[in-house]
Amino acid sequence: MGVLDGKVALITGGGSGIGLATSQLFASEGAQVAMFDRNADLVNETAREIGSSAFAISGDVTSEDDVARMVASCVERFGRLDIAFNNAGIAGAAPIHDHELSHFQHVIDVCLTGVFLCLKHQSKQLIAQGQGGSLINTASINATQATKGLSAYCSAKAGVAMLTKVSALELGEHGIRVNAIGPGHTRTPMTERARDVEGFDEAMIGATPLGRLGEPEDLARMALFLGSDASPWVSGQLFYVDGGITVNELPPGFNLLEAQPRQPRGD
């Protein structure tokens, strides 16, 4: 018995990293999973590895035609939609004064407009089915935490957090829950280049109360909770899954416990 027995889930960015781990976990918990990704070879291969409960759809979240086809293909194959995980994303750093408009717009298109298009077409399907559902968006700790070089990415992820709230407000009357997950630094292909920078991993781990980087499965478990009937009264929220790094307001690596205490004033 899986907690998602009889459910149909749609996962964008399903070919890699967090989306792939979530597709695998959902399938192992009994869901039928439609995996959507712009990398056709990758998503075909990974869906084949999961087996008959998974189905690959290739396309781009920035194209409304592709997103509409994604939802239609899922329904054609599995008969319905219950859960969607809008997770496809890209990063890419540039300083504001030297940021190409085309790159800024592309990050916004994929990370923010792509989530809007998914919510639009998925909610239309869920409203037509009339049985509610769960929509989950991938934001980031960068929804509220600024990082140098990531003006487009941080802006897009802050937008996802607000889009999540507005959608939850609008769709609640249809029994549709909408939540967001904010990953901390997680070991996936997206973060490989950052992890090549000397000292980066150590700084992140040093600032993280739980003392390690995230694994894709850490995020998949939160998606499972939000997608399943274990969270029936949870909507409109952004959940950080980050080892606790967002409660650390000190510079990375700074340890207050090791700081020399000052002389108490006045005595």
| Catalytic residue numbers, as ranges | 153
Nearest distance from C-beta of residue 74 to ligand NAI, angstroms: 14
Q: How far apart are CA 219 and CA 178, in angstroms?
A: 16
The answer to whether 253 contacts ligand NAI (rule: CB under 6 A) is: no
Q: How far is the CB of 104 from ligand NAI (least distance, A)?
A: 15
- CA dihedral defined by 117, 123, 128, 132, rounded to 10 degrees? 160
Q: Which is nearer to ligand NAI, 174 or 187 (CB)?
A: 187
Which region, judged by CB under 6 A, interacts with ligand NAI, from 86-94, 163-171, 229-237, 252-260?
86-94
Minimum distance of ligand NAI from residue 175's CB (angstroms): 26
Applying CB under 6 A, among 29, 37, 82, 218 the residue interacting with ligand NAI is: 37
Contacting residues for 226 by C-beta, under 8 A, at least 6 apart? 134, 136, 177, 179, 181, 234, 239
121 binds ligand NAI (CB under 6 A): no
Cβ atoms of 112 and 214 within 8 Å: the answer is: no
| The one among 68, 90, 94, 205 contacting ligand NAI by CB under 6 A | 90
Q: Which of 7, 8, 9, 19 binds ligand NAI (CB under 6 A)?
A: 19
- Contact at 8 Å (CB) between 32 and 53? yes
Smaller CB distance to ligand NAI: residue 19 or 243? Answer: 19
Calculate the alpha carbon distances from 86 to 98, 138, 148 in Å.
30, 6, 25
Hey, which residues between 135 and 174 contact ligand NAI (CB under 6 A)?
138, 140
Q: Which of 12, 27, 194, 219 is nearest to 119 (CA)?
A: 12
Please give the single-letter amino acid code of residue 63. Answer: S
Residue 161, CA distances (Å) to 96, 155, 158, 167, 182 in order: 22, 10, 5, 10, 9
Beta-carbon-side half-sphere exposure of residue 261 (alpha carbons within 13 Å): 4
- Count of residues that interact with ligand NAI, criterion CB under 6 A: 28
39 lies in the binding site for ligand NAI (CB under 6 A): yes
Q: Binding residue for ligand NAI (CB under 6 A) from 4, 110, 150, 154?
A: 110
Half-sphere exposure of 23 (CA within 13 A, CB side): 33
Report in angstroms how near the CB of residue 12 gets to ligand NAI at its nearest. Answer: 6
CB 92, min distance to ligand NAI, A:
11
Footprint (CB under 6 A) of ligand NAI, residues 171-230:
183, 185-186, 188-191
Angle between the 17-28 and 216-227 helix axes, to the nearest 10 degrees? 50
List contacts with ligand NAI (CB under 6 A): 12-13, 15-19, 37-39, 60-62, 87-90, 110, 114, 138, 140, 183, 185-186, 188-191
